[in-house]
C-alpha cells in the first residue's frame, strides 16, 4: 500500500502529461491513469521507452514504480488515449506488471514466449535499483530521462561533481550499456506497422 496515494496520483498525472507531450511522436495512444495508481499507454516504437520510464520514475519519486511492457497486436480500433482498447499487447502488459510485482523487478517484458534476455535484464536492473540510495535513484532517473549533469545539479541544488559521484556509485554506465542491448531486443520483437 502506498502512503499519500492522492499525492502520488497528482505526481503521476503531471508525469503522464509530460510524457504524452514530449514523446508524442512515438506514442500511438496517450498514457492515462486507469485505476488507482495504474496507468497505460501504447507505443508505436520503443526508441524513447527508457526516457519515458525514467521520466515517470522521476515524477513518482520517492515511490518506486513497476512497469509491465506487453509486445503484441492490438485487436480493437486505435484510440487517441489508451483506454477502451484490447489485444495481446494489453494482456501481456498485465502479465508483465504482475510478474514485476511478484519478482520485485522494476520493469518486465512479456512477449508470449520465454525471453531469457528480458528476464536477465529485469533481474539485474532490479538488483541494482534496490541497492541505490534514494538520491542515487533520483539522479540516475533524471539522467536516464535525458537531463545532463549540469541541469541535474541545478535542479537538486548539488554540485555537478556530486551528480557524477552518484551516477558512478549507482553503476549508471553499466546500466546504460545493458539497456541498449535490452532496447535492441525489444526493437526486433516489435510488430510490423
Buried b (16+ CB within 10 A) or exposed e, 116-143: eebeebbebbbebbeebeebbbbbbbbb
pTM confidence score:
0.91
What is the torsion angle, in degrees rounded to the nearest 10, for the CA atoms of residue 11, residue 8, residue 106 and residue 183? Answer: -20
**Whether 144 contacts 50, CB under 8 Å:** yes
**Whether 152 contacts 143, CB under 8 Å:** yes
Q: How confident is the model at residue 1 (pLDDT cuts 50, 70, 90)?
A: very low
Environment class of 86 (CB within 10 Å of its CB; exposed 0-12, middle 13-18, buried 19+): exposed
Average of per-residue pLDDT across 168-183: 95
**Whether 16 contacts 39, CB under 8 Å:** yes
**Whether 43 contacts 78, CB under 8 Å:** no
Between CA 40 and CA 3 the distance in angstroms is 22
The secondary element (H helix, E strand) that includes residue 172 is helix 172-189
Q: Which residue has the higher pLDDT, 37 or 82?
A: 82
Instruction: Inform me whether the pLDDT recorded for 115 exceeds 70.
Output: yes
Q: Which three cell numbers stand for residue 125?
A: 536492473
Q: What is the pLDDT of residue 191?
A: 63
Instruction: Inform me whether the pLDDT recorded for 193 exceeds 60.
Output: no
Amino acid at each position: 500500500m502506498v502512503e499519500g496515494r492522492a499525492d502520488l496520483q497528482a505526481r503521476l498525472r503531471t508525469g503522464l502529461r509530460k510524457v504524452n507531450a514530449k514523446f508524442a511522436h512515438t506514442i500511438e495512444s496517450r498514457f492515462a491513469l486507469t485505476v488507482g495508481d495504474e496507468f497505460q499507454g501504447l507505443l508505436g516504437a520503443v526508441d524513447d521507452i527508457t526516457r519515458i520510464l525514467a521520466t515517470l520514475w522521476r515524477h513518482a519519486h520517492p515511490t518506486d514504480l513497476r512497469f509491465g511492457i506487453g509486445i503484441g497486436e492490438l485487436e480493437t480500433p486505435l484510440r487517441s488515449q489508451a483506454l477502451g482498447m484490447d489485444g495481446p499487447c494489453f494482456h501481456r502488459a498485465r502479465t508483465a506488471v504482475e510478474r514485476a510485482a511478484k519478482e520485485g523487478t522494476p520493469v518486465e517484458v512479456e512477449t508470449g514466449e520465454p525471453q531469457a534476455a528480458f528476464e536477465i535484464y529485469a533481474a539485474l536492473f532490479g538488483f541494482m535499483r534496490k541497492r541505490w540510495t534514494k538520491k542515487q535513484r533520483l539522479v540516475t532517473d533524471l539522467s536516464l530521462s535525458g537531463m545532463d549533469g549540469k541541469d541535474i545539479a541545478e535542479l537538486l541544488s548539488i554540485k555537478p561533481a556530486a551528480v557524477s559521484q552518484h551516477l558512478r556509485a549507482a553503476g549508471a554506465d553499466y546500466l546504460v550499456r545493458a539497456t541498449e542491448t535490452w532496447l535492441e531486443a525489444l526493437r526486433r520483437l516489435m510488430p510490423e506497422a
